[in-house]
Amino acid sequence: MSTLKGAKWVLNDLKKNGYEAFIVGGAVRDYLLKEPLNDIDITTNAKPHQVSKIFKTKPTGLKYGTVTVFMNNETYEVTTYRIDGEYSDSRHPEYVTFSETVEEDVKRRDFTINGLLMTASNEIIDYVDGKEDLKNKIIRTIGNPIDRFNEDALRILRAFYFQSKLGFQIDKDTRDAISQMKYKLKDIAMERIFNEIIKIFKGKYVKRALHSLITTGVHHELPGLSKGIEFVNQMEDIPFIDAFFTLAFTLNQSVPKEWPFSNKHRHKYETASKLALAHDQFDAYTLYTYGLELCLLANKVNYMLGKSKNQKNKIENDFENLPIQSDLDLKLRATDMIKLTGKKAGAWVKQLQTEMVIEVINRRLENKKETLEAYALERMKGV
């Protein structure tokens, strides 16, 4: 957590020790837009070891000149003015060179609206026309957009994130460069791409960002998502993340292996999309087998696709009224079956248990011990 007041203390302490320092980046942008401030970054001509002599710090990015400063239970990333070296992985510079001026530091950054500086007295310093772009609601790279995206291809998705967050338009030259350079996203780790997609979908202006993803063709670089993005772009209300991914993978008819989902989420999207493809109604056994969450998700997808009505209330009510919701709810245990029949344990126990579940779920058999015992003895007679 960072606060503007605390950041100014850091600036003043650096200044007292003979160094320059400024708040930089998103915090300045959000301050001018009167938006809440989250993380506050600071840039300075003090080297990391010099910063560490003044504050309690942690070396969180020494290769890039960054230390985290701890002050009054708050944290601030403090980075030395720098010029970036060559980028070989489309994400990080191979090396950095400390710079003498803050202007050189600012001009290595991504977008003009993120290149503004603020002093401890709230003076705004602008070397990149960021204030003008804020005023005109424009997202524009600092310098040549081809160079910026060549350096760090993730900036392509960052442009859409800022559009989703702020509602700004993407400058034509920047947009054209995105269309030209979108293939560079293949060099970016899918974890980073996934995180940006999540952030895009959380934005207030997500529809504008989705439209831009489509018009630039970037959505085709996102495995299995292009049909989903095109579909939800036509919707009045954009679905939440789980519903979007399930919809996209239903239209794609598979969950691409490239996405770094947890096992839990991959199972959710694979199963819910298969359910949506196979069912427009959810009977008792389907509800019992797959559970409430997955059936609701599949129904939501089918509703968005126009394949069925919104059955949320019915599904919830049917699930609540299931005679049993787990085989553990059966009144006859596996050990009881073995004792009752006098047979050795084997595959027959699970098979018989499954038969009982189906009969109970469909209300053809009461879930009472004596009733289940009678059913078991009848089924195993002569076996």
Cα–Cα separations (whole angstroms), residue 25 to 2, 170, 209, 294: 14, 18, 21, 41
Predicted local confidence at residue 84, as pLDDT: 75
Query: Angle, nearest 10°, between helix axes 347-361 and 334-341?
Result: 110
What pLDDT is attached to residue 35? 92
Contacts of 195 (CB under 8 A, 6+ apart): none
Under a CB-based contact definition with an 8 Å cutoff, are residues 210 and 233 in contact?
yes
Question: Which pLDDT does position 171 carry in this prediction?
Answer: 97
Residue 145 to residue 175: CA distance in whole angstroms: 9
Q: Where are the alpha helices (DSSP H) in 117-225?
A: 130-136, 145-151, 154-166, 172-181, 190-202, 206-215
What's the DSSP call for residue 141? Answer: B
Angle, in degrees to the nearest 10, between helices 369-379 and 347-361: 130
With 0-12 CB in 10 A as exposed, 13-18 as middle and 19+ as buried, what is 300? buried
Write down the pTM of the prediction. 0.88
Q: Encode the chain (383 residues) as per-residue pLDDT tens digits.
A: 789 999 999 999 999 999 999 999 999 999 999 999 888 999 999 999 999 999 999 998 888 899 999 988 899 999 999 987 666 655 566 767 899 899 999 999 999 999 999 999 999 999 999 999 999 999 999 999 999 999 999 999 999 999 999 999 999 999 999 999 999 999 999 999 999 999 999 999 999 999 999 999 999 999 999 999 999 999 989 999 999 999 999 999 999 999 999 999 999 999 999 999 998 889 999 999 999 999 999 999 999 999 999 999 999 999 999 999 888 899 999 999 999 988 899 999 999 999 999 999 999 999 999 999 999 998 888 66
Strand arrangement of the beta sheet that strand 41-44 belongs to: 56-61, 66-71, 74-80, 41-44, 21-24, 117-118, 124-125
Give the residue among 189, 108, 137, 128 at the shortest CA–CA distance from 117: 128
Q: Give the pLDDT confidence score for residue 8 in this predicted structure.
A: 96
State the pLDDT at residue 366. Answer: 94
Cβ pair 165, 198 in contact under 8 A: no
Is-contact 229 222, C-beta < 8 A?
yes
Task: Tokens for 79, please give them.
Answer: 């980075």
Q: How far apart are CA 178 and CA 348, in angstroms?
A: 61
- Alpha-carbon span 238 to 93, nearest angstrom: 36
Full DSSP string of 46-114: S-HHHHHHHSEEEEEEGGGTEEEEEETTEEEEEEE-EEE--BSSSSSBS-EEE-S-HHHHHTTSSBGGG
| Pair of tokens at residue 192 | 């980073």
Measured between alpha carbons, how far is 341 from 97 in angstroms, rounded to an integer? 80
204: three-class secondary structure by DSSP: coil
